[in-house]
Chain A
Amino acid sequence: MFEKIKDIVGEKNFSDNLIDKYIYASDASIYQSLPSVIVRPGTVEEIQEIIKYANKERIPVIPRGAGTGETGGAVPVDGGIVLDLKRMNKIKEIRIGDVLCKVEPGVVNNELNNELKEFGFFFPPTPGSGRVCTIGGMIANNASGMRAVKYGATRDSVLGLKVVLPQGELVSLGTETIVHSSGYQLARLMVGSEGTLGVIVEATLRLRPLPEKRAAGRAMFYRLGDVGKAVSAIITGGIIPSALEFLDNIVIKSVNEVFNLDLPKNAEAIVLFECDGNKASIDYEINKIKKVCQKFGSFRIDISDDPQEMKEIWKIRDSAFPATCRYKENLVRMPLAEDVAVPISKVSDLIVNLHKIGLKNNIIIGTYGHVGEGLVHTAFLINPELSEQWEKAKKAISEIFVLAQNLGGTTSGEHGIGLSKAPYFKKERKRALNVMRKIKNALDPNNILNPHKLMDAPDDFLTATKIRYAVRE
């Protein structure tokens, strides 16, 4: 059955080896489900041929970038063909005169930015996985990151796309212009579609000029509740920082313990901020943020525009991830409910109540994230080999999503839905599910592209596929 596929990409770019299948069975999520084969196409034509054959034979096709997704978006629920797109990694064009570039889907975010730096420009989305994640994956998930507060998410930087549709047809969507009102915004439809509507084979991206300089600061608060209020006041106060982050006391404690940093133990939260632009604008903005933080009770504020000192300021944010991974000997961090987002005015309610949910369910949930976008990361610390821990986590997760939705928020701010958030996404978007299914059915009548994801994912996220941990009672 797969001999034809092997012929298309050549033996070197085809694998049905068990070890390869075992590895491509997971991404950065909790899931594990083996594909039938993995292929690494090198051209658009190869992708078209693969898709046409898969459509004829009704074989699922799962497009995959670097496999950094935390929701199971690249996990092949029903087996089938994993389409590893990392070989297609050419930057095809950089047209500074038109402030755009054209790239293949396998180009790595940071590598693109390294190239653009020479021209004094950048591609703004900065996901945490930027060192390895691919532009194709970023578009498919509408990734963002800490600078989205000023520059928006990936969708705001996508001008046009070339996409292979589920029956093999190659289409051009969008334009090369900064604006267009020429019909359906189909490029945007593909952004965030998580590989269910088409395979992105080329992207035209909008670029931004690199700022002249940056300055950063950190403000420490005794009370967690004050953080949300300060953040709302900053965002509504007429300035747009280039980053506005926070970390809670659990994260502060873990960073202190794991990396021997000397952050105040009595701080319930730290707000980190960054402004970019020219000296005058930065001075104005930083000063304004400082005043707001003081007004809402910050007891210590450090500010710097020295690159080395700025590095120190950001160190705590960079350390948040590894520190929470090692906070307690028998607990590790799980990617669960990790990126709810709410309207800015509700950030305070979200943060405070997330902690209540943790306490109520007797589970450690560290919180931090891009609070300037209303987005909070939840670091669930559990022993993933104990089933009772999963049950506890599941209950807390459910409560988190109810909380976010009650605050007018959304299930996922930047990581996507995949499998792990689908049950809650379906509740949030219940009035949109029908139209989503109609679109899916119109483009992919045989349901070959990344089936069982988003609105078609199973209702129990814990049994959507095998969990990749050896769970015991």
Chain B
Amino acid sequence: METKHLEKWKKEMLVCIKCAYCFGDCPIYSQLGWESASARAKMILSYGLLTKGIEYTDSILENFFQCTTCKQCELNCPAKVKILDVIEAARKDLVDNGYCYPAHKLMREVVEKSGNIYGEEKRKKESVQKGAEYALFVGCVGTYREDESIKRTIKLLKKLGVSFTRFDEVCCGGVFPYVGLDNYQKNVQHNKEEIKKTGAKKLLTTCPMCYRTFKNNPEYSDLGVEVVHITQLLNKLNIDVKTDKVVTYHDPCDLGRHLGIYEEPREIIKKFASHFVEMDKNRENAHCCGAGGGVRGAFTRLSINMAKNRLKEALNTKADVLLTECPSCLHNFKNAKKKRQRIQIYNISEYLSILMDRGKKNEDL
């Protein structure tokens, strides 16, 4: 197998001293229990592939794609090994050699045809409101799987008087580099042009993955607008609602560990919820919901099981409401939730909108 991408990261594989610190809190390892599921194993396998110590088998493909890229391993690593760069390189090499997960391949194909990862027909063409401060990018999961939540978010923005416009968005492509695939350049160009057409100076995203993509992906480096996540915006606005419910918060990996945004969501929540409780694992130690890194598409049951675990941690806090601000986390938690589990799950912006609709203090929520 050709390993031109892995070659660049050889030093990282050698620096890994196999201490196994990466076992701790790895959501995949916690689920599967075999050392082979850990980041250490992926470093060993990467070096094995690179130096021809091991040949490709289908199990290798499965192994490398069973990672949500949640970054907990990198935080735990005492040698500060760039584990995710190695995993992404291995995934690229696998794909370049013709070994691609069918679910990811399909996702890439449907994005090309439909502009979204689900291959759904475009709901409606958004009209641009000229002169808006923000261009709002909702993303695939919000638009096609959590549209009720997004409707609430949009309602909230309007109610708070945020000057924003929708535009004809297509998939940002953020997931593709993480599953070893190239982004669909036509979509990148399309997004750039449509954002430019709005005349907005800032791009507002609801999805942390899209935020990360527009902010850090070199393909969007010439975007020419400031990229803002909705939690950063909401934290600056005056929020005049309250709830007595016990509320907890789940840090999305893309927002937290990848971008360091931990405080803004908490500051917003504390403005309207006087009973805020943290889960045992929070901020940089927050367990992953299992949705990221292409895992939900390729290993649905595993992904849901991770969400179930995280949900249990939320239930342990005795919270009435679990908040997050990520359509993917929200979607995974909703799929994982059992009917008898009474906890309510919302995005922060969605929950705020509901609170505003029902008055300043509402016991039914």
Q: In A320-336, which residues have CB < 8 Å from any B CB?
A: 321-322, 325-326, 329, 332-333, 335
In the bound complex, residues from chain A placing their C-beta under 8 Å from that of B23 are 66, 132
Whether A67 and B35, one on each chain, are in contact in the complex, defined by CB atoms closer than 8 angstroms, is yes
In the bound complex, residues from chain A placing their C-beta under 8 Å from that of B18 are 26-28, 67-68
A15, A28, A129, A325: residue with the most chain B Cβ atoms closer than 10 Å: A325
**B17 touches A (CB below 8 Å):** yes
In the bound complex, residues from chain B placing their C-beta under 8 Å from that of A40 are 33-34
The answer, among B15, B33, B53, B59, for a CB contact under 8 Å with A86, is B33
The verdict on A23 contacting B59 (CB below 8 Å), with A325-B79, A384-B14 known, is no
Q: In A61-87, which residues have CB < 8 Å from any B CB?
A: 66-68, 84, 86-87
The minimal Cβ–Cβ distance linking A469 to chain B, given in whole angstroms, is 8
**B312 touches A (CB below 8 Å):** no
In the bound complex, residues from chain B placing their C-beta under 8 Å from that of A129 are 19-21
Total count of chain B residues near the partner, CB < 8 A: 31
Q: In B236-276, which residues have CB < 8 Å from any A CB?
A: none
The verdict on A28 contacting B15 (CB below 8 Å), with A19-B63, A325-B79 known, is no
**B51 touches A (CB below 8 Å):** yes
Whether B44 and A17, one on each chain, are in contact in the complex, defined by CB atoms closer than 8 angstroms, is no
The answer, among B11, B24, B41, B79, for a CB contact under 8 Å with A23, is B41
Instruction: Decide if the interface of chain A is mainly helix, strand, loop or mixed.
Output: loop
Contact with B along A11-50 (1 / 0, CB 8 A): 0000101111011101110000000001010000000000
**A295 touches B (CB below 8 Å):** no
Q: How far is the CA of A385 from the CA of B47 in the complex (A)?
A: 12
In the bound complex, residues from chain A placing their C-beta under 8 Å from that of B57 are 18-19
Q: How far is the CA of A17 from the CA of B36 in the complex (A)?
A: 10
Q: In B1-58, which residues have CB < 8 Å from any A CB?
A: 11, 14-15, 17-21, 23-24, 33-36, 41, 44-45, 47-48, 51-54, 57
Q: How far is the CA of A325 from the CA of B23 in the complex (A)?
A: 20
**A429 touches B (CB below 8 Å):** no
Whether B44 and A23, one on each chain, are in contact in the complex, defined by CB atoms closer than 8 angstroms, is yes
Q: How far is the CA of A144 from the CA of B220 in the complex (A)?
A: 51
In the bound complex, residues from chain A placing their C-beta under 8 Å from that of B52 are 470
Whether A322 and B80, one on each chain, are in contact in the complex, defined by CB atoms closer than 8 angstroms, is yes
The answer, among A22, A28, A38, A67, for a CB contact under 8 Å with B45, is A22
The answer, among A15, A38, A132, for a CB contact under 8 Å with B24, is A132
Nearest residue (CB) in A for B280 is A114
Whether A17 and B51, one on each chain, are in contact in the complex, defined by CB atoms closer than 8 angstroms, is no
The verdict on A28 contacting B19 (CB below 8 Å), with A19-B36, A19-B63, A20-B34 known, is yes
Whether A23 and B35, one on each chain, are in contact in the complex, defined by CB atoms closer than 8 angstroms, is yes
In the bound complex, residues from chain B placing their C-beta under 8 Å from that of A291 are none
Add 12 more A-B contacts to A20-B36, A66-B23 (CB < 8 A).
Answer: A15-B34, A22-B45, A22-B48, A23-B41, A28-B18, A28-B19, A38-B34, A67-B18, A68-B18, A322-B79, A332-B11, A385-B14
A-B contact pairs, 27 of them (CB 8 A): A15-B34, A17-B59, A19-B36, A22-B44, A22-B45, A23-B36, A23-B41, A24-B36, A28-B17, A28-B20, A66-B20, A67-B18, A67-B20, A67-B35, A68-B20, A86-B33, A129-B19, A129-B20, A131-B24, A132-B20, A132-B24, A321-B79, A322-B78, A325-B79, A335-B17, A384-B14, A385-B14
- 10 interchain residue pairs of minimum CB distance: A470-B51, A28-B18, A19-B59, A23-B36, A325-B79, A23-B41, A332-B14, A132-B20, A322-B79, A20-B36
B interface vs A, CB < 8 Å? 11, 14-15, 17-21, 23-24, 33-36, 41, 44-45, 47-48, 51-54, 57, 59-60, 63, 76, 78-80
A interface vs B, CB < 8 Å? 15, 17-20, 22-24, 26-28, 38, 40, 66-68, 84, 86-87, 128-129, 131-133, 318, 321-322, 325-326, 329, 332-333, 335, 384-385, 468-470
